[in-house]
Amino acid sequence: MANVVVVGAQWGDEGKGKLVDWLSERADVIARFQGGHNAGHTLVIGGQVYKLNALPSGVVRGGKLSVIGNGVVLDPWHLVNEIAKIREQGVEISPETLMIAENTPLILPFHGELDRAREEAASKGTKIGTTGRGIGPAYEDKVGRRCVRVADLADEATLIARVDRALQHHDPLRKGLGIEPIDRTALIEKLKEIAPQILPFAAPVWKVLTEKRKAGKRILFEGAQGALLDIDFGTYPFVTSSNVIAGQAATGVGLGPNAVDYVLGIVKAYTTRVGEGPFPTELDDETGNRLGTRGHEFGTVTGRKRRCGWFDAALVRQTAATSGMKGIALTKLDVLDGFETLKICTGYELDGEVVDYLPTAAEAQARCTPVYEELEGWSESTEGARSWAELPAAAIKYVRRIEELIDCPVALLSTSPERDDTILVTDPFAD
């Protein structure tokens, strides 16, 4: 039985939520392996809209086990509120349907305070554009060996020791930023109050998933953000604080690399980005506005308007390589309906030469100018198409050209937010 990793192949917001939900019918377990509640998934099922941040997309599917892995950083208060909200929409969530790895680091209130204070203090041109939810500082504490983890909530003495170690680092840092010291007593009490609502979901995820694999169960690994926000291979420093690429999937839940059989990259038919950082094909004109309006390009978490531009094949070719993608799911093709001419970036001009990848150095990235290839657009509607026969010839040509340029085949094609408006070419679980 194949196990599948789903990763965003651009800067996020590619439509992973719908595709993970669509694939979850074929899976037994859906596992989040990195990120925090700074990422958002919007699912549309039978006209019902679900907005998820921390919860895996599989929670809205009955009979599935959803897992939050150790590669995630978890805000326990946000999670409790999100569970309550989703329950109000008629979704059953219990320890039988949701599991949290015992070694998952927690996002504490002071992480968000530090995140926001740093961003406010940053000089022009150095702001990262974070959501201010404390994800970065929480990952810093994990690596610095001073975080509170889910398992620590079960023992008061351990919890206090973990909090004290964190405060030894954070109070001097806060003083330098002009922030009041952390109220130690109040923080410990808050953690003791939230513990009974989190601990019932805690489990040795690595062990449970190992047993699931031995029993022949299918696992769907769900990432957040997009590969171009990867801490190592993204457009640094305008990136997230964790590894987003597919190699993190196994590590982020406690399995070995042989647990992954198929990597599916989610790719938007054009390009968008939220926040700061380089964006070679960005269109700050009427065409960019048209893409944003037609694609409803506003962040699920922040509500921020997304920057829009033409499809960048050079960047997706990079992410296909760094994540070892076997196929892609191309989304939002319908947003391009009605354009007379479409453009695809095939590479960049840098200092008089053409390069086929985005350089690592930020100053070199800033000097890159996109090299475009023009294709004929189409006037017919592709929205809701469920077979190749329903697509205009020019749309098929556009999809085939993308396959050639990124050196990776299309496995699925999404033509609307509805889960059933999907053309299946290759079933990743049948690999």
Residues known to be catalytic: 13, 41
SS3 state of residue 182: coil
Query: Which tokens belong to 150?
Result: 């889910």
Instruction: Single out the residue of 374, 375, 373, 405 nearest to residue 392, CA to CA.
Output: 375
Query: Cα separations (Å) of 402 from 50, 309, 314, 326, 369?
Result: 31, 15, 10, 14, 20
* Cβ-based neighbour number of residue 62 at 10 Å: 9
Query: Cα separations (Å) of 75 from 35, 157, 265, 313, 413?
Result: 11, 21, 27, 36, 34
Contact (Cβ atoms closer than 8 angstroms) between residue 221 and residue 249? yes
Q: How close are the terminal C-alpha atoms of the chain, in Å?
A: 8
Q: Please tell me the distance from the alpha carbon of residue 91 to that of residue 56, in angstroms, as a whole number.
A: 13
Q: Please tell me the distance from the alpha carbon of residue 277 to that of residue 130, in angstroms, as a whole number.
A: 11
CA angle 47, 43, 299 (to 5 degrees): 115
Give long-range contacts, CB 8 A cutoff, 24+ apart: 169-174.
169/141, 169/144, 170/110, 170/114, 173/114, 174/110, 174/113, 174/114, 174/117
What is the helix, strand, coil percentage profile of the chain, to 5?
40, 20, 40
CA torsion sign for 321, 322, 326, 331 is negative
SS3 state of residue 129: coil
The rounded radius of gyration (Å) of the Cα atoms in the chain is 22
Torsion of CA 202, 203, 209, 214, to 10 degrees: -150
